[in-house]
Amino acid sequence: MDNSSDRAIVLRDTPGRSTLAAVDYRVHELLLRQEQQERTTLKLIASENFASSAVLEATGSIFTNKYAEGYPGARYYAGNEIVDELENLAIERLKSLFGSEHANVQPYSGSPANQAVYRALLSPGDKVMGLSLPGGGHLTHGWTVNFSGTDYKRIPYGLHEKTQQIDYHRLRETAKRERPKLVWVGGTAYPRVFDYAAMAEIASEVNSYLVADIAHISGLIVAGAHPNPVGHCDVVSSTSHKSIRGPRGGFILSRNEDRYQELYHPKSKHNLAKRIDRAVFPLLQGGPHMNIIAALAVTLQEAANPSFRTYGKQIVKNAKALAQALLERGYDLVTGGTDNHMLILDLRDRPLSGKAYAERLAKAGIIANFNMVPGDPRHPAVTSGIRLGSPAVTSMGMREAEMAQISAFIDLVCRQPNDPDVHARVRRDVADFCAAFEVPGITNRKPGKSKVAT
């Protein structure tokens, strides 16, 4: 019999793990299972990470209850003095970390942040250039099935056939011919540094806004492990939950003034910063998620610590070490390597699809996602590639030596993809391997200590 509702009525303490177990056994049990999975597998999804206990505490705090439509000092609800301070704190930390003039911390996630950018800068039907999805761009940069591809005139740019890196020369020619109003720089599956200066030059030549989407690399940028686009771009958008290791959310950085105000927005009485804010609220969103903004503030405090610089640089060192180890084992990598936190295995000459390899790897406790490679002959739902990322394992404290071991695990599975005994053996070895490391937000134990989740 389920008596959990009786217990819910007497709930009076600060919500915690034990309360969850009492109120909802099933969700609690799913949570424990997810924790168990994350403690015993290798999280190599390039967009995932482990938020710290402090970030999780703020995410699960009473700030989740507060309605605060509007912006600090101009809210549509009463009782917002404290959350005004909180939002201002997050904004100030963001501006100082990235050196930007303006920051908006209210977007619910990366895609809503990008929607707001479109609404602040363009009118439907305007031309937008973005890295194509097969080239490593994001859905919101003008892909066919996304609003950005249906409501705007999409002009994808691609990669150089030989280098598999952005072909800046062709990009410039296309921009000159098409004269887009917005150019995106950024991606979701691009293992190399972006040349923001070159992009800024091209955008300026054709009177286009330049927007960087740093969803994947914001943590690397804060750490000084990837160039900062802020000085080069009109607007910069990001998620807060990838390499920067915060809560699920988004933010937008921008200049205050619009350099094309006269040209593209002569009738607007609002500058660029104000148009971004108004696009987020009230055009697209209602009340901001104050618990997420609290957690973002904590994330930025953590990211400002010198140890975060070490962390970000180690992410890149680890990705390079993993790339090198895989190359030595005879694997092909898109662009031949990596400058950032991710690498893309090119499995076109192997017997199975990217999807099939990802499934086999998951059976062995290696969690990664299949991904298109340039010139991929397979459908996007199966692909010929696997994307691997180092942020999460770096958060566990792994270094170059562990990357060599991970490459050995991957190789074992990929060489015998249809042998369940191999999967099972690697699965056990991976679990043993992971047990020596702390998982932020899940365990704080040292090797050999209690296995109870904290």
Q: Is 318 in the site for ligand PLP (CB under 6 A)?
A: no
CB of 140 to ligand PLP, least distance (A): 6
List the beta bridge partners of residue 386: 345, 370
Based on the residue annotation, tell me whether 179 is a catalytic residue of this protein: no
Of 22-30, 204-212, 213-221, 420-428, which segment contacts ligand PLP by CB under 6 A?
213-221
Of 1-9, 163-171, 209-217, 292-300, which segment contacts ligand PLP by CB under 6 A?
209-217
Q: Is 47 in the site for ligand PLP (CB under 6 A)?
A: yes
CA 213, 218, 219: angle at the middle one, nearest 5?
165
Half-sphere exposure of 107 (CA within 13 A, CB side): 26
Q: How does DSSP classify residue 64?
A: G
DSSP per-residue string spanning 137-198: --GGGT-TTSHHHHSSEEEEE-B-TTT-SB-HHHHHHHHHHH--SEEEEE-SS--S---HHH
Nearest CB to ligand PLP, comparing residues 385 and 417: 385
Closest CA to 376 of 129, 142, 136: 136
Q: Is 109 in the site for ligand PLP (CB under 6 A)?
A: yes
Based on the residue annotation, tell me whether 402 is a catalytic residue of this protein: no
CB of 280 to ligand PLP, least distance (A): 14
Q: Report the distance separating Cα 116 and Cα 375, nearest Å.
A: 32
CB of 159 to ligand PLP, least distance (A): 16
Nearest CB to ligand PLP, comparing residues 360 and 387: 387
Q: Which residue has the tokens 């501006």?
A: 95
Q: Are strands 209-213 and 250-254 parallel, antiparallel or unpaired?
A: unpaired
Closest CA to 194 of 236, 229, 235: 229
Q: Is 187 in the site for ligand PLP (CB under 6 A)?
A: yes
Is 138 labeled as ligand-binding? Answer: yes
Q: Is 239 in the site for ligand PLP (CB under 6 A)?
A: yes
Based on the residue annotation, tell me whether 302 is a catalytic residue of this protein: no
Identity of residue 212: A
Is 139 labeled as ligand-binding? Answer: yes
Q: Are strands 342-346 and 332-333 parallel, antiparallel or unpaired?
A: antiparallel
**Is residue 101 within 8 Å of 233, Cβ to Cβ?**
no
Q: Is 165 in the site for ligand PLP (CB under 6 A)?
A: no
Residue 322 phi, psi (nearest 5): -65, -40
Binding residues for ligand PLP, rule CB under 6 A, total: 14
- Contact pick of 80, 100, 111, 340 for ligand PLP (by CB under 6 A): 111
Nearest CB to ligand PLP, comparing residues 213 and 339: 213
- Contact pick of 52, 106, 140, 291 for ligand PLP (by CB under 6 A): 140
Residue 100, helix vs strand vs coil: coil
Based on the residue annotation, tell me whether 67 is a catalytic residue of this protein: yes
Nearest CB to ligand PLP, comparing residues 232 and 423: 232
Q: Is 48 in the site for ligand PLP (CB under 6 A)?
A: no
Based on the residue annotation, tell me whether 419 is a catalytic residue of this protein: no
Identity of residue 341: H
Q: Is 132 in the site for ligand PLP (CB under 6 A)?
A: no
Based on the residue annotation, tell me whether 248 is a catalytic residue of this protein: yes
Residue 254, helix vs strand vs coil: strand
Residue 154 phi, psi (nearest 5): -85, 135
- The binding site comprises 133, 137-139
- The binding site for (6S)-5,6,7,8-tetrahydrofolate comprises 133, 137-139
Residues of this chain that bind ligand PLP (CB under 6 A): 47, 109-111, 114, 138, 140, 186-188, 213, 215-216, 239
